[in-house]
């Protein structure tokens, strides 16, 4: 299949393929596997960290990322180029993370009730040489309600605009701004309270 | 009141991603997709085979439609209405008609 002119070869010699080309390959039955490889190369790492920030444990992030990619394959015909490919991928990854947390919370609890157990996992999962403030930041994020957590992570770590977050999460831009504002305030309060 | 500068903080994560994790994951996903595609192809072949067997069976039961005694265009055009045509059909013909109507969606 021909590639776009926007598919450029960078100075390391590796190919940087445009989202449009990846989306076209994804919808072509003969090139699905190639498209999946390209998605993993381009978005695998950001998607992994997006999921990991939501579910905390590596094993859970691994399951979610695998399920995300299988869903990308299964539901590829539902992708519309009205939205950027990255927003669609983040949306699937976010849904998979929420699904895992929902399964974890069972019938009686909501996803937002998992804060304490996620917070405990942060310290267990942290690298031995990890910076204490970074651990506190992750603990504070773990305690946030799911919606605030998603908005905060997408804005703070992934540098997404509110418009992009709207494409992923679905809420209005004003609601997202409010969620971000509350998240930042709660995180600052937590860190100030727990910092040595 | 004390404040904390969140923007000045490193965006690093306190966790580590295992080495070769993404490469291994890519191979696992591609292999799983390959298996799903194979299963899908096999299911399509089985469905096509079943449809072919059904078509051949129909031909044996009613070779070239002779056994159905389908009314000719002339005999149909002589009828006043569709209702009349339907009234003149045998139970078997009505069955085929109903099956075809369902198939074409009207």
Q: Which chain A residues are closer than 8 Å to B15 by Cβ?
A: 52, 58, 125-127, 130
From B25's Cα to the closest Cα of chain A, the distance in A is 7
A96 and A114: one domain?
Answer: no
Domain coverage including residue A140: 109-196
Q: What is the pLDDT of residues A127-178, one digit of tens each?
A: 999 999 999 999 999 999 999 999 999 999 999 999 999 999 999 999 999 9
Specify the number of domains making up chain B: 2
Measured in residues, chain B has a length of 106
Interface mutation target, options B2, B4, B16, chain A, most CBs of A under 10 Å? B4
pTM over 0.90: no
pLDDT given for residue A3 in this prediction: 52
Would you state the torsion angle of the CA atoms of residues A194, A196, B4, B7, taken in this order, to the nearest 10 degrees?
A: -100
Using the predicted structure, report yes or no on whether residue A55 has a pLDDT greater than 50.
yes
Please state the rounded mean pLDDT for residues A85-112: 90
Q: Is residue B96 part of a domain?
A: yes
A133 and A46: one domain?
Answer: no
Interface mutation target, options A130, A148, A154, A189, chain B, most CBs of B under 10 Å? A130
Q: Is residue B45 part of a domain?
A: yes
Chain A's closest residue to B27, CA to CA, is A37
A27 and A102: one domain?
Answer: yes
Using the predicted structure, report yes or no on whether residue A191 has a pLDDT greater than 70.
yes
Q: Tell me the C-alpha distance between A105 and A120, whole Å.
A: 15
Both tokens of residue B76?
A: 């149909």
* Percentage of chain A exceeding pLDDT 70: 92
Using the predicted structure, report yes or no on whether residue A99 has a pLDDT greater than 90.
yes
Query: Does residue A167 sit at the B interface (CB-CB below 8 Å)?
Result: no
Q: Is residue B75 part of a domain?
A: yes
Please state the rounded mean pLDDT for residues A19-26: 93
Q: Which of B3, B17, B37 sits opposite A48 (nearest CB)?
A: B17
Using the predicted structure, report yes or no on whether residue A24 has a pLDDT greater than 70.
yes
Confirm if A186 and A132 have CB atoms less than 8 A apart: no
Interface mutation target, options A26, A30, A39, A44, chain B, most CBs of B under 10 Å? A44
Q: Where is pLDDT greater, at A12 or A80?
A: A80
Q: Where is pLDDT greater, at A38 or A109?
A: A38
Q: Where is pLDDT greater, at A88 or A17?
A: A88
Q: Is residue A13 very low, low, confident or very high in pLDDT (cuts 50, 70, 90)?
A: very low
Choose the final residue of a domain: A81, A108, A135.
A108
A38 and A58: one domain?
Answer: yes
Confirm if A129 and A137 have CB atoms less than 8 A apart: no
Check CB contact under 8 Å for B21 and A137: no
Choose the final residue of a domain: A49, A74, A108.
A108
pLDDT given for residue A173 in this prediction: 96
> Which of A35, A63, A17 lies closest to B37 in space, CA to CA?
A35
Check CB contact under 8 Å for B30 and A41: no
Query: Does residue A66 sit at the B interface (CB-CB below 8 Å)?
Result: yes
Q: Is residue B5 part of a domain?
A: no
Q: Tell me the C-alpha distance between A18 and A3, whole Å.
A: 9
Check CB contact under 8 Å for B13 and A70: no
Spell out the long-range contacts of A42-49 with Cβ–Cβ below 8 A and sequence spacing 24 or more: A42/A16, A42/A17, A43/A86, A43/A89, A44/B22, A44/B25, A44/B26, A45/B17, A45/B22, A46/A158, A47/A89, A47/A90, A47/A93, A48/B17, A48/B21, A48/B22, A49/A157, A49/B13, A49/B17
Choose the final residue of a domain: A108, A142, A161.
A108
Both tokens of residue A125?
A: 């999962």
Mean pLDDT of all residues in chain A?
Answer: 90
A97 and A114: one domain?
Answer: no
A27 and A96: one domain?
Answer: yes
Confirm if A101 and A146 have CB atoms less than 8 A apart: yes
A99 and A125: one domain?
Answer: no
Q: Tell me the C-alpha distance between B43 and A52, whole Å.
A: 36
Q: Which residues pair with A9 in a beta bridge?
A: A15
Check CB contact under 8 Å for A48 and B37: no
CB within 8 Å of chain B, chain A residues 78-117: none
pLDDT given for residue B28 in this prediction: 96
**Structure-token match 């923007």, residue found:** B7
pLDDT tens digits in sequence order for chain B, 106 residues long: 567 788 888 899 999 999 999 999 999 999 999 998 888 888 888 888 888 888 888 877 776 655 566 666 666 566 557 677 777 778 888 887 777 777 665 4
The ipTM (two decimal places) reads 0.84
From A116's Cα to the closest Cα of chain B, the distance in A is 18
A73 and A129: one domain?
Answer: no
Domain coverage including residue B90: 68-101
Specify the number of domains making up chain A: 2
**Structure-token match 């008609």, residue found:** B97
């Amino acid at each position: 299949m021909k590639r776009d002119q926007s598919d450029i070869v960078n100075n390391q010699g590796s190919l940087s393929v445009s989202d449009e080309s990846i989306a076209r390959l994804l919808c072509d039955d003969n090139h699905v596997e190639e498209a999946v490889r390209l998605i993993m190369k381009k978005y695998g790492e950001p998607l992994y960290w997006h999921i990991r920030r939501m579910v905390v444990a590596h094993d859970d992030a691994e399951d979610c990322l695998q399920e995300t990619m299988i869903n990308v394959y299964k539901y590829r015909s539902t992708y519309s180029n009205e939205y950027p490919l990255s927003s669609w991928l983040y949306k699937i990854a976010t849904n998979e993370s929420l699904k895992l947390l929902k399964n974890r919370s069972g019938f009686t609890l909501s996803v937002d009730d998992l804060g304490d157990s996620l917070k405990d996992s942060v310290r267990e999962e942290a690298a031995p040489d990890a910076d204490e403030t970074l651990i506190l930041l992750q603990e504070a994020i773990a305690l946030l309600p799911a919606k605030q957590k998603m908005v905060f992570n997408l804005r703070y770590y992934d540098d997404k605009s509110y418009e992009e977050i709207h494409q992923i999460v679905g809420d209005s831009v004003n609601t997202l701004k409010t969620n971000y504002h509350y998240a930042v305030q709660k995180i600052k309060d937590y860190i100030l309270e727990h910092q040595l | 009141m004390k404040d904390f500068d969140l923007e000045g903080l490193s965006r690093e994560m306190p966790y580590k991603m295992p080495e070769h994790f993404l490469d291994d994951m890519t191979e696992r996903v591609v292999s799983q997709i390959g298996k799903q595609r194979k299963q899908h192809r096999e299911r399509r072949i089985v469905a096509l085979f079943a449809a072919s067997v059904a078509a051949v069976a129909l031909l044996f039961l009613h070779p070239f439609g002779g056994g159905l005694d389908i009314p000719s265009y002339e005999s149909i055009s002589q009828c006043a209405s569709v209702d009349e045509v339907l009234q003149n059909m045998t139970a078997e013909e009505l069955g085929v008609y109903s099956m075809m109507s369902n198939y074409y969606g009207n």
